[in-house]
């Protein structure tokens, strides 16, 4: 449990709709009617999962079958629970198909540990006035969010520290394209009402960004804002004790769901796929006019994108960044393929060894 929050996921019972349940989950759950209960994973502590269900918060383990299949629920997943009254244990026996999957895309790390969260509608990419603000990093975040199926929004936090917050917003707008940019201060509460259109009942928002940008402070502010009429709340003491180590889903009073994440240290392009193109729509739009359909916009003749850079229509930095991220994607994909081949080779050795055993097969 993360002790750093003024309000936790409420243990009160919830209607499934409030948790983001919809028709597609309902039909996937259809075959489990009877002894099973659906729920949504709100946090994971190694092998124990906290799951919100219609009858409150449940602690559950993972079934042996899921474990053996290497299927690991992520925060935000809708899961199927089996409760064994004889020993009081709840077990996750299945994960319902995900609507969106948000992964960090670093090859070489365990498959399912890559998953940051599932079934996310909107991702708040949080940055802060000061040294964290970095256009190139924002492009990386945008690429993985676009690839996840969730919609991104960029939040510039700590506007109270900026001499000219609108200048920051303008700087960010140059990489944001059509992605909304919202300037806020989680500490003073300024701008928080601009987030209301994203914080809707049954919709899930995940917060990502570097450590220290104020993700947890923002969640506290949102929790406090939506409960302030009904509960007495201790004043936030601003001591920076919110270093988050566990990913966790919270439910705001109005039924919106928000997921706090630990600061991301590394964002790989491995799972970004077409997310890179979505991050650079101005380049994608022009690229269709390049002479070669696989033009990388480097040295190829008939490149419309480079021409646009020369004319000053597209920024040189943007094109450089686009090329670099695509190279990284290609490199990581290649690494993944080599990894697979090695695995296949090993499998083949095992298979041929057992074949030799059976039929005295000789190489
Ligand atoms: N001045 C100012 N400080 C803020 C604001 N929001 C957060 N902070 C401070 O920034 C520090 C880090 O805030 P956290 O909310 O812990 O940051 P985080 O993004 O959750 O960090 P990790 O959990 O490590 O990823 C704390 O000292 C906060 O008080 C803000 O709007 N203005
Ligand atoms: Mg935090
Ligand atoms: Zn080109």
Residues 6 or more apart whose Cβ sits within 8 Å of residue 321: 135, 136, 139, 280
Residue 211 CA: which ligand 1 atom is closest? 25
Supply the DSSP symbol for 347.
H
Q: How far is the CA of 114 from the centre of ligand 1 (A)?
A: 25
User: Are the C-beta atoms of residues 227 and 238 closer than 8 Å to each other?
Assistant: no
In 3D space, the residue among 31, 21, 8 whose CA is nearest the CA of residue 78 turns out to be 21
Number of Cβ within 10 Å of residue 201's Cβ equals 13
Q: How far is 80 from 39, CA to CA, in rounded Å?
A: 7
Higher pLDDT: 144 or 111? It is 144
* Helix axes of 135-148 and 316-359: crossing angle, nearest 10 degrees: 50
pLDDT higher than threshold 70 for residue 254: yes
Q: Identify which has the larger pLDDT, 337 or 24.
A: 24
- In this predicted structure, what is the pLDDT of residue 225? 65
Res 130: pLDDT? 84
pLDDT exceeds cutoff 70 at 1: no
What percentage of the chain carries pLDDT values higher than 90?
A: 56
pLDDT band at residue 226 using 50, 70 and 90 as cut-offs: low
pLDDT at 24: 94
The pLDDT-based confidence of 180 (bands split at 50, 70, 90) is: very high
Q: Which ligand is located closest to the Cα atom of residue 287? A: 3
Quickly name the fold that domain 101-260 has: Rossmann fold (3.40.50)
Query: Measured in angstroms, how far is the CA atom of residue 316 from the centroid of ligand 3?
Result: 13
Residues near ligand 2 ion, CB 5 Å cutoff: 215-216, 242, 244
Pairing of strands 257-260, 204-208: parallel
Q: How far is the CA of 303 from the centre of ligand 2 (A)?
A: 44
Q: How far apart are CA 21 and CA 267, in angstroms?
A: 29
Determine the 3-state secondary structure of 330 from DSSP. helix
pLDDT band for position 227 (cuts 50, 70, 90): very low
Mutate to test the pocket of ligand 1, among 5, 242, 248 (most ligand atoms within 8 A of CB): 242
CATH class of the domain comprising 16-95: mainly beta
Specify the range with the lowest mean pLDDT, choosing from 30-44, 104-118, 148-162, 297-311: 104-118
CATH of domain 280-356: 1.10.40.50
List CB contacts of 246: < 8 A, sequence separation 6 or more. 1, 2, 43, 44, 45, 262
Q: Which residues form the pocket of ligand 1, taking CB atoms under 6 Å from any ligand atom?
A: 157-158, 160-161, 185-187, 211-217, 238, 240, 242-244, 262-263
Distance 313 CA to ligand 3 centre (A): 14
pLDDT at 112 exceeding the cut of 90:
no
* Distance, CA of 64 to chain centre: 27
Radius of gyration of the chain (CA): 23
pLDDT at 302: 95
pLDDT value at residue 321: 94
Which of these, 262, 153, 269, 284, lies nearest to 210 by C-alpha position? 262
Task: Please give the backbone phi and psi of residue 271, each rounded to the nearest 5 degrees, phi first.
Answer: -105, 15
* Least confident stretch, 36-50, 155-169, 199-213, 332-346: 332-346
DSSP type of residue 112: G
Ligand 1 pocket, mutate which of 188, 212, 216, 260 (most atoms under 8 A from CB): 212
Work out the percent of the chain whose per-residue pLDDT is above 70.
Answer: 81
Q: Residue 217 CA: which ligand 1 atom is closest?
A: 15
CA of 244 to the centre of ligand 2 (A): 4
- State the ligand closest to the CA atom of 307: 3
pLDDT tier for residue 27 given thresholds of 50, 70 and 90:
very high
* Residue 87 banded pLDDT, cuts 50, 70, 90: confident
Residue indicated by tokens 């650079």: 280
* Residue 15 confidence (pLDDT): 78
Q: No. of H helices and E strands in the chain? A: 9, 13
* 292, pLDDT greater than 70: yes
**Ligand 2: distance of its center to the CA of 166 in Å?**
25
Question: Model confidence at 17, in pLDDT bands (50, 70, 90)?
Answer: confident
Among the listed ranges 244-248, 284-288, 313-317, which one has the minimum average pLDDT value? 244-248
pLDDT at 334: 77
Atom 1 in ligand 1: which residue has the minimum CA distance?
A: 158
Distance 308 CA to ligand 3 centre (A): 10
Mean pLDDT of the chain: 83
Nearest CA to ligand 1 atom 12: 212
Distance 261 CA to ligand 3 centre (A): 38
Residue 99: which pLDDT band, with cuts at 50, 70 and 90?
Answer: very high
Whole-number Å distance between alpha carbons of 357 and 345:
18
Ligand number nearest to the C-alpha of 323: 3
Confidence category of residue 343, pLDDT binned at 50, 70, 90: low
Select the more confidently predicted residue: 242 or 159: 159
The predicted pLDDT at position 5 comes to 46
Which band of pLDDT confidence, cut at 50, 70 and 90, is reported for residue 13?
A: low
Q: Which H helix or E strand runs over 37?
A: strand 36-45
* Range(s) of the chain covered by CATH 3.40.50.300: 101-260
């Amino acid at each position: 449990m993360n002790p750093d929050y003024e309000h936790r996921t409420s243990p009160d019972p919830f209607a499934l709709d409030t948790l983001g349940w919809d028709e597609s989950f309902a039909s996937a759950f259809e075959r489990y009617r009877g002894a099973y209960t659906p729920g949504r994973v709100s946090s994971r502590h190694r092998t124990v999962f906290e799951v919100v269900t219609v009858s409150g918060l449940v602690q559950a383990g993972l079934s042996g079958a899921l474990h053996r299949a290497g299927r690991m629920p992520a925060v935000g997943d809708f899961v199927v629970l089996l409760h064994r009254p004889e020993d009081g244990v709840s077990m996750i026996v299945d994960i319902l198909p995900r609507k969106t999957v948000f992964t960090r895309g670093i090859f070489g790390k365990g498959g399912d540990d890559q998953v940051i969260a599932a079934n996310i509608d909107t991702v708040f990419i949080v940055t802060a006035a000061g040294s964290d603000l970095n256009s190139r990093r924002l492009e990386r975040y945008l690429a993985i969010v676009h690839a996840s199926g969730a919609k991104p929004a960029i939040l510039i936090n700590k506007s109270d520290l900026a001499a000219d917050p609108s200048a920051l917003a303008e700087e960010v707008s140059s990489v944001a394209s059509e992605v909304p940019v919202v300037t806020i201060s989680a500490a003073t509460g300024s701008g928080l009402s601009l987030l209301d259109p994203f914080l809707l009942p049954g919709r899930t928002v995940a917060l990502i960004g570097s450590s220290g940008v104020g993700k947890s402070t923002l969640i506290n502010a949102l929790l406090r804002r939506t409960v302030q009429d009904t509960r007495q709340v201790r004043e936030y003491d601003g001591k920076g004790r919110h270093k988050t180590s566990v990913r966790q889903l919270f439910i705001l009073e109005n039924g919106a769901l928000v997921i706090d994440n630990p600061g991301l240290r590394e964002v790989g392009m491995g799972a970004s796929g077409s997310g890179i193109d979505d991050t650079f729509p101005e380049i994608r739009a022009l690229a269709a006019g390049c002479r070669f359909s696989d033009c990388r916009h480097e040295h190829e003749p008939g490149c419309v994108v480079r021409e646009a850079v020369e004319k000053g229509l597209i920024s040189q930095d943007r094109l450089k960044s686009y090329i670099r991220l695509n190279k990284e994607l290609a490199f990581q994909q290649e690494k993944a393929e080599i990894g697979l081949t090695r695995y296949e080779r090993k499998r083949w050795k095992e298979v041929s060894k057992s074949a030799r055993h059976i039929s005295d097969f000789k190489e």
